[in-house]
Chains A and B, each alone.
Chain A
Amino acid sequence: SRSGGNGPDIYKGKICSLKARALLIDMEEGVVNEILQGPLRDVFDSKQLITDVSGSGNNWAVGYKLYGYQYRENIVEKLRKTAEHCDCLQCFFIIHSMGGGTGSGLGTFVLNLLEDEFPEVYRFVTSVYPSGEDDVITSPYNSVLAMKELNEHADCVLPIENESLFDIVNKINQMINSGKLGSTVKQNTLVTSSAGSAKILQEKPFDSMNNIVANLLLNLTSSARFEGSLNMDLNEISMNLVPFPRLHYLVSSLTPLYTLADVNVPSRRLDQMFSDAFSRDHQLIQADPKHSLYLACALLVRGNVQVSDLRRNIERLKPSLHFVSWNQEGWKTGLCSVPPVGHSHSLLALANNTCVKPTFIELRDRFMKLYKKKAHLHHYLQVDGMEQSCFSEAVSSLSDLIEEYNELDATKGGPRTDPSRLKIAI
């Protein structure tokens, strides 16, 4: 939104009067302060912040039960204010991590709150899941407790694993260092580039990793922001990719990870982009959709790509993918004319695929390892409103979800008997 005055929004390369429609919430001040002193300070409205000083101690219960109830009114008030500035509010993006206390606990509290206060508005959640070697010991607890909330209150979840982001960043590093890309790669066009050169990649890995997620969200919203021959809005994503309410976890992949210097990309390169979108090492979680079962798949293409390129690649890749029996030929496609900055084209693939199952199973396993020994449980139970049943209900919810994926997987490769059609009496 514009903060007032009719002057130009961008002056000498700096954004001056555009304000993010955003609410920044953290129970510590360090990160938010850094943002407000950094190059984007003018983009965020200083009134749209909710911070505290002590943090949530990596404790979901502190985030949800303690801070949740404490800040509820404040959050609702600020949300209403931001919503009022919208001509037409369609969607909330919640961005958080699952493993800690604030993002996980307070984050899912806010998710709940959004459903209560704005039931008609879609809730898209981008969740960073902890990896196996996460240094937060209680991350399995926090994640599983948060999962229950995601199961019940999110319209769509885009799980992200740091491990995958890290691998992608490393892969790009290797490519640069090996000199293989040479002059074919444009400067500063890596998906991971924020301010610039490869050196920075190594110093601040989280920035590069986060940049990938930022690009994901940019591509997701590109068709809503720019014109194209086949638009794909956010509400269409939910409609097409969520066949049953609880199966709303979408595996995402982004290509290309770098861009070529040659703007007129030959078809083979374009086709490579489509192939990469289905390869294991381009997924943003540790998953292999190709060898699991697809319930639904969406492809959002940006740039100078035509419907024939899209069709050719779908025909080419389809035979090697496994689709559920009731959706053998269903693809959701979008064509946006405007490519990302510095690129001539890009592709975002979103898959509702049973390959998320291993991530959830591992999470449950790590949870059970701690829970069986009641490790650290007292830190949670001493928070007002937190009971042991919260834990058992959460893991039960997760188990139910895993079971749904199991049932679907059981149908994979099995004999197909199409249901008999209605018979009309002549």
Chain B
Amino acid sequence: MSIVTVQLGQCGNQIGHEVFNSLCRDIRGTHGLCSSREDESYRDACKERFFCQEGSAVPVARAVLVDMEPKVISQTLSLAARSGSWKYNDHSHFCQKQGSGNNWANGYSVHGPRHKEAIMNLVQKEAEKCDRLGGFFTIMSMAGGTGSGLGAFVTQCLRDAFPTSFILNHVIWPYGTGEVIVQNYNSVLTLARLYQSADALLVHENDVVHQICAQLMNIKHISFRDVNQVIAHQLGSVFQPTHTPGHSDYSRNPLGDLMETLVPHPEFRMLGLRNIPQMPENSLAYSSFSWPGLIKHLRQMLIANAKMEEGIDWQVRPPCPGSSIPSSHLTNKPLHFNTSIANLVILRGKDVHSVDLGSFQDPSLYTSWLNPQDAFSAWKTPRAFNKYEKSAALVSNSQFLLKPLDSIVGKAWNMFASKAYVHQYTKFGIEEEDFLDSFTTLEQVISSYTTL
């Protein structure tokens, strides 16, 4: 089954490019550490999922590129073509000249309706090229105007045009001390809308990835490219082919499997992502890992809500079994223990089949209303990913994003109370009431996750 990627805005396009780059590099490498039959199977599955290939021609990414100004798309297309190992379809892009001015209302209410037909035509064309459409993967930042506003609109259009397809929104959360002054408004408006149209939101926070670059990758002068490459690696660790339990072939419905496993309830759609180990490529040769060690770290990262494999708080422990968790956590105490709804662990590389994941099935990790057997899934493949002899990824529907979400809503509300910048939105048809509706939706989400 194939996934159509929709790259929205500058961020979406820059990251999308790194994702396809990373996927391609992974399948071209000779570091699979598995049988050649397995490797071939993996490569074929990856290609079917993300690329379209005619004979011996260069694989073409199954992607639609959208932006309201031309520079980024132009650069993205040429960078891909220059790589020589993959490219984008020459016609699968749509851009304008104006930009969205960081204005969500402009992206959503003006550009959206105006360009809906042209954009959906491109999506339809890509969808038709797939033998079997597995769903859509949209990439956007929520801070700007195009990715966020137009992105929210396009997601809605996807939902309307493909009611039975899976939609996973990959959303980039901006640095806390801004990139855009109205980023919190744009974020609130985006998240509220996406919550209604998408199946799930997979989140990366710039602040977190930046720290990974600084502390784990040892990069001195971190560029957006560095940040995007880490994000692409993490996404690859989730979306490259794996075997689901009980199946010897590679899974053919990754998005569907993901949703089924991680989103049991429509009120809870926020997914966080962790991937270990993470280190500079030139250190890889000198490092060796043990699965027990990796699993132990990953589990503690989950429980203690650690953003990366450094500075993990080992003091945090799950609550004792049998103790009642109060139904209302409306206290001022920081929530040290990260309660999960559902978790998915993905293991790649040497000796995966011998790994013991019992510690992730501990019922005390989870909220009480799901059977722990249903709350946890594991996908595996012996095929190593991106030169890491062993790598473990965790996709988690838990309280991971509760604090960051609360922070964004808090700052947006603070600004909204003074009505600052609101005139910029009403100018394009987004009224105060629309803001209030969005705040209400998100406060509900926050409340739901808080009382897990």
The smallest beta-carbon distance between B128 and chain A, in angstroms, is 31
Contact B447 A424, beta carbon cutoff 8 Å? yes
Contact A308 B210, beta carbon cutoff 8 Å? yes
Q: Is B99 in the interface zone, CB < 8 Å from A?
A: yes
The smallest beta-carbon distance between A246 and chain B, in angstroms, is 10
Q: Is A240 in the interface zone, CB < 8 Å from B?
A: yes
Alpha-carbon distance A154/B438, docked complex (angstroms):
31
Residues of chain B with a CB closer than 8 A to A242's CB: 421, 424
Alpha-carbon distance A333/B220, docked complex (angstroms):
20
Alpha-carbon distance A245/B446, docked complex (angstroms):
33
Q: Pick out which of these stretches binds chain B: A23-31, A75-83, A224-232, A364-372.
A: A224-232
Alpha-carbon distance A197/B150, docked complex (angstroms):
50
Contact A238 B101, beta carbon cutoff 8 Å? yes
**A229 in contact with B413 given A88-B98, A239-B424, A422-B439 (CB within 8 Å):** no
- Residue from A88, A90, A306, A418 having most chain B Cβ neighbours under 10 A: A306
Contact A424 B177, beta carbon cutoff 8 Å? no
Contact B178 A329, beta carbon cutoff 8 Å? yes
Q: Pick out which of these stretches binds chain A: B154-162, B179-187, B197-205, B290-298.
A: B179-187
Contact with A311, one of B175, B180, B411 (Cβ below 8 angstroms): B175
Residues of chain B with a CB closer than 8 A to A392's CB: none
A to B contact number (C-beta, < 8 Å): 135
Residues of chain B with a CB closer than 8 A to A329's CB: 176-178, 411
Q: Is B386 in the interface zone, CB < 8 Å from A?
A: no
Contact with B along A395-426 (1 / 0, CB 8 A): 00000000000000000000000110111101
Contact B177 A419, beta carbon cutoff 8 Å? no
Contact B224 A229, beta carbon cutoff 8 Å? yes
Contact A90 B98, beta carbon cutoff 8 Å? yes
Q: Is A171 in the interface zone, CB < 8 Å from B?
A: no
Q: Pick out which of these stretches binds chain A: B21-29, B69-77, B340-348, B373-381.
A: B69-77
Q: Is B14 in the interface zone, CB < 8 Å from A?
A: yes
Contact B179 A333, beta carbon cutoff 8 Å? yes
The smallest beta-carbon distance between A327 and chain B, in angstroms, is 6
Residues of chain A with a CB closer than 8 A to B223's CB: 229, 306-308
Alpha-carbon distance A295/B443, docked complex (angstroms):
27
Q: Is A241 in the interface zone, CB < 8 Å from B?
A: yes
Alpha-carbon distance A421/B72, docked complex (angstroms):
38
Residues of chain B with a CB closer than 8 A to A326's CB: 414-415, 417-418, 420
Contact with A233, one of B69, B181, B227, B410 (Cβ below 8 angstroms): B69
Alpha-carbon distance A326/B181, docked complex (angstroms):
11
Q: Is B355 in the interface zone, CB < 8 Å from A?
A: no
Contact A227 B182, beta carbon cutoff 8 Å? no
Q: Is B97 in the interface zone, CB < 8 Å from A?
A: yes
Interface residue range, chain A: 35 or more
Contact A318 B179, beta carbon cutoff 8 Å? no
Contact B177 A243, beta carbon cutoff 8 Å? no
Residues of chain A with a CB closer than 8 A to B180's CB: 236, 240, 332
Contact A426 B447, beta carbon cutoff 8 Å? yes
Contact B102 A240, beta carbon cutoff 8 Å? yes
Give the residues from 89 to 125 in chain B that come closer than 8 angstroms, CB to CB, to chain A.
96-99, 101-103
Residues of chain A with a CB closer than 8 A to B101's CB: 233, 235-236, 238-239
Contact A231 B221, beta carbon cutoff 8 Å? no
**A231 in contact with B71 given A236-B101, A335-B224 (CB within 8 Å):** yes
Residues of chain B with a CB closer than 8 A to A90's CB: 97-98
**A235 in contact with B99 given A245-B423, A307-B227, A315-B177 (CB within 8 Å):** yes
Q: Is B214 in the interface zone, CB < 8 Å from A?
A: yes
Please name the residue on chain A nearest to B213 by beta carbon. A308
- Residue from A87, A240, A245, A309 having most chain B Cβ neighbours under 10 A: A240
Q: Is B275 in the interface zone, CB < 8 Å from A?
A: no
Alpha-carbon distance A367/B384, docked complex (angstroms):
76
Q: Is B222 in the interface zone, CB < 8 Å from A?
A: yes
Alpha-carbon distance A309/B439, docked complex (angstroms):
34
Alpha-carbon distance A419/B419, docked complex (angstroms):
12
Q: Is A67 in the interface zone, CB < 8 Å from B?
A: no
Please name the residue on chain A nearest to B327 by beta carbon. A426
Residues of chain B with a CB closer than 8 A to A298's CB: 181
Contact with B72, one of A231, A318, A424 (Cβ below 8 angstroms): A231
Give the residues from 293 to 335 in chain B that come closer than 8 angstroms, CB to CB, to chain A.
328
Alpha-carbon distance A243/B420, docked complex (angstroms):
5
Contact with A along B192-230 (1 / 0, CB 8 A): 000000000000000000100110000111111101000
Contact with A240, one of B71, B182, B440 (Cβ below 8 angstroms): B182
Q: Is B10 in the interface zone, CB < 8 Å from A?
A: yes
Residues of chain A with a CB closer than 8 A to B439's CB: 422
Q: Is A360 in the interface zone, CB < 8 Å from B?
A: no
Alpha-carbon distance A418/B406, docked complex (angstroms):
14
Q: Is A172 in the interface zone, CB < 8 Å from B?
A: no
Alpha-carbon distance A231/B72, docked complex (angstroms):
9
**A230 in contact with B415 given A235-B98, A418-B410 (CB within 8 Å):** no
The smallest beta-carbon distance between B308 and chain A, in angstroms, is 16
Residues of chain B with a CB closer than 8 A to A243's CB: 420-421
Contact B102 A229, beta carbon cutoff 8 Å? no
Please name the residue on chain B nearest to A331 by beta carbon. B178
Contact A325 B414, beta carbon cutoff 8 Å? yes
Q: Is B409 in the interface zone, CB < 8 Å from A?
A: yes
Across the A-B interface, give the 9 residue pairs with the lowest CB-CB distance, nearest first: A235-B101, A308-B222, A330-B181, A88-B97, A243-B420, A419-B417, A229-B224, A326-B418, A240-B181
Beyond contacts A307-B224, A327-B415, A421-B413: 4 other A-B pairs, Cβ-Cβ < 8 A, are A231-B69, A326-B415, A330-B178, A419-B417
16 A–B pairs (Cβ distance < 8 Å), ordered by A: A227-B72, A230-B10, A231-B69, A231-B72, A236-B180, A239-B102, A239-B182, A242-B424, A296-B181, A308-B219, A311-B177, A325-B418, A326-B417, A332-B179, A423-B443, A426-B451
